[in-house]
Amino acid sequence: MTVLVTGGAGYIGSHMVWALKDAGEAVVVVDNLVTGFDWALPGDVSLVRGDIGDMALIGRVLKEYSVDAVIHFAGSVVVPESVADPLKYYRNNTCASRNLIEACTAAGVDKFIFSSTAAVYGDPKTVPVGENAPLAPLSPYGTSKLMTELMLRDTAAAHPFRYTALRYFNVAGADPEGRTGQSTAGATHLIKVAGEAALGKRDSLSVFGTDYDTPDGTGVRDYIHVSDLVAAHKLALDRLKDGGESLTMNCGYGRGFSVLEVVDTVRRVSGKDFKVDMEGRRPGDSPKVVADPSLIRSELGWKPNHDDLEEIVTHALAWEDKLSKRNRAE
Ligand SMILES: NC(=O)c1ccc[n+]([C@@H]2O[C@H](COP(=O)([O-])OP(=O)(O)OC[C@H]3O[C@@H](n4cnc5c(N)ncnc54)[C@H](O)[C@@H]3O)[C@@H](O)[C@H]2O)c1
Ligand SMILES: O=c1ccn([C@@H]2O[C@H](COP(=O)(O)OP(=O)(O)O[C@H]3O[C@H](CO)[C@@H](O)[C@H](O)[C@H]3O)[C@@H](O)[C@H]2O)c(=O)[nH]1
């Protein structure tokens, strides 16, 4: 029995593939390599290059590889881009996921894990935010993911199909063994951008918004190490295999850092100063989002091993350095 990882050549997906291989699971990846890289995968993993919205292709892959469960990472991920180009997000996140889910029900694949997001909460009234908080995304990205959550809910009610939706908070860091990391070209994620600035790959970093109602006026996020996130998926997969019912859970640590705290940490860990420009707010951004992780801890017994901003930044910088050497060698 094989696990299909969609978007497995991307940042988070490639960490998942390495972790599944470490656990001895058979894996097949479907990725169109729009933002992912085939070299991020272990050499012995099958990569099918194609689109998750292509039902005929997915149907063939599910059958050919005897797929038993799907972990669905493929999608478009940049909040401000979704504000500028909403239909791209409804096509690539909502419509493509719809087709993938239908291909699964048609093939009788009944276990599905979905990459949802804290962006479904928008600007939560209470922080830390629990799963029952009102869902009010501030961006088409968040809405595109919420719509997929709703499709999963309705599909599970109508078909023999069980899912786990994990609402990730801000994923950062890299594989502690240095096998993969965030390699996204033109990335917009704060820790990635700050790492690039520290290594001189960009001239400066912009701080988007300094007048939020937060301790230092900049946006606050719950940064979670990618290895802890991937471990939660493995627990969720095992739970579904044991017959667990459908669940939607936050995946974050329960504490937040401001943009300026992240910038200070990157400067301290790297020992490098870089230019920081104070700018206006970025469209679609929430002031403060921090997880209440009680449910995932009790349901999955999830215990983070890397809840330390310095460690997250250390691993992100180590990968950034490796990436520079790789790009120079090419
Ligand atoms: N990075 C975060 O902080 C974060 C937070 C919450 C949720 N997520 C979700 O996690 C998932 C993975 O994000 P990531 O940061 O690894 O992004 P990423 O861009 O590195 O990975 C996405 C992967 O999906 C592939 N892909 C995109 N559209 C596809 C399609 N239609 N068919 C086949 N392959 C396709 C890309 O080539 C890439 O390899 C996304 O669904 C994202 O919304 C990420
Ligand atoms: O160059 C930058 C980049 C970001 N920020 C700020 O840093 C914070 C975090 O931004 P970013 O790293 O871009 O992440 P988010 O916009 O919070 O979104 C991420 O986290 C979400 C979950 O919370 C995921 O769903 C998204 O896919 C992922 O991009 C926000 O306050 C941004 O305004 C800056 O000030 N300067």
Task: Specify burial of residue 115 (Cβ count, 10 A radius: 0-12, 13-18, 19+).
Answer: buried
Q: What is the mean pLDDT of residues 16-41?
A: 98
Output the pLDDT for position 36: 98
Query: What distance in Å separates the CA atoms of residue 172 and residue 166, rounded to the nearest whole number?
Result: 16
- The CB of 73 under 6 Å from ligand 2? The reply is no
- CA–centroid distance, 260 to ligand 2, in Å, is 13
pLDDT tens digits, 55-90: 999 999 999 999 999 999 999 999 999 999 999 999
Domain boundaries, the chain: 2-172+224-251, 190-221+254-329
pLDDT confidence of 329, banded at 50, 70, 90?
Answer: confident
* Minimum CA distance residue for ligand 2 atom 35: 207
pLDDT confidence of 282, banded at 50, 70, 90?
Answer: very high
Output the pLDDT for position 19: 98
- Are 116 and 74 spatial neighbours (Cβ–Cβ below 8 Å)? no
pLDDT confidence of 1, banded at 50, 70, 90?
Answer: confident
Say which ligand is closest to the CA of 194. Answer: 2
Q: Is the dihedral of CA 220, 226, 232, 236 positive or negative?
A: positive
Query: What distance in Å separates the CA atoms of residue 147 and residue 251, rounded to the nearest whole number?
Result: 19
Q: Which CATH architecture has domain 2-172+224-251?
A: 3-Layer(aba) Sandwich (3.40)
Output the pLDDT for position 284: 82
- CA–centroid distance, 94 to ligand 1, in Å, is 13
Class of the CATH domain delimited by 190-221+254-329: alpha beta
Output the pLDDT for position 330: 79
State both tokens at 46.
Answer: 């099958």
- Comparing C-alpha atoms, which of 73, 290, 66 is closest to residue 165? 73
Q: Which of 11, 89, 90, 141 is catalytic?
A: 141
Point out which residues pair with 220 in neighbouring strands.
258, 288
pLDDT confidence of 22, banded at 50, 70, 90?
Answer: very high
Q: Which atom of ligand 1 is nearest to the CA of 14?
A: 16
Question: Is 141 annotated as catalytic?
Answer: yes
Q: Which residues are CB-neighbours of 150 under 8 A, at least 6 positions away? A: none
How large a percentage of the chain has pLDDT more than 70? 100
Query: What distance in Å separates the CA atoms of residue 280 and residue 271, rounded to the nearest whole number?
Result: 27
- Are 113 and 6 spatial neighbours (Cβ–Cβ below 8 Å)? no
- The CB of 73 under 6 Å from ligand 1? The reply is yes
- Are 74 and 68 spatial neighbours (Cβ–Cβ below 8 Å)? no
Q: What is the ipTM of this complex?
A: 0.98
State both tokens at 263.
Answer: 């910038």
Asked if residue 28 has pLDDT above 90, the reply is yes
Q: What is the mean pLDDT of residues 319-329?
A: 91
State both tokens at 258.
Answer: 């401001």
Q: Which pTM was predicted?
A: 0.98
Asked if residue 195 has pLDDT above 90, the reply is yes
Task: Specify burial of residue 180 (Cβ count, 10 A radius: 0-12, 13-18, 19+).
Answer: buried
Q: Is the dihedral of CA 58, 153, 117, 110 positive or negative?
A: negative
Asked if residue 328 has pLDDT above 90, the reply is no
Q: What is the mean pLDDT of residues 97-107?
A: 98
Element at 229 (helix H, strand E)? helix 226-241
Output the pLDDT for position 157: 98
Identify how many contiguous H helices and E strands the chain contains and give both numbers: 11, 14
- The CB of 79 under 6 Å from ligand 2? The reply is yes
- Are 65 and 2 spatial neighbours (Cβ–Cβ below 8 Å)? yes
- Comparing C-alpha atoms, which of 143, 166, 128, 168 is closest to residue 288? 128
The overall average pLDDT reported for the chain is 97
Query: What distance in Å separates the CA atoms of residue 182 and residue 188, rounded to the nearest whole number?
Result: 11
Output the pLDDT for position 115: 98
pLDDT tens digits, 228-276: 999 999 999 999 999 999 999 999 999 999 999 999 999 999 999 999 9
Element at 220 (helix H, strand E)? strand 220-221
Task: Please tell me the least confidently modeled range out of 97-101, 106-110, 184-188, 204-208.
Answer: 184-188
Strands 220-221 and 257-258: antiparallel
* Minimum CA distance residue for ligand 1 atom 21: 10
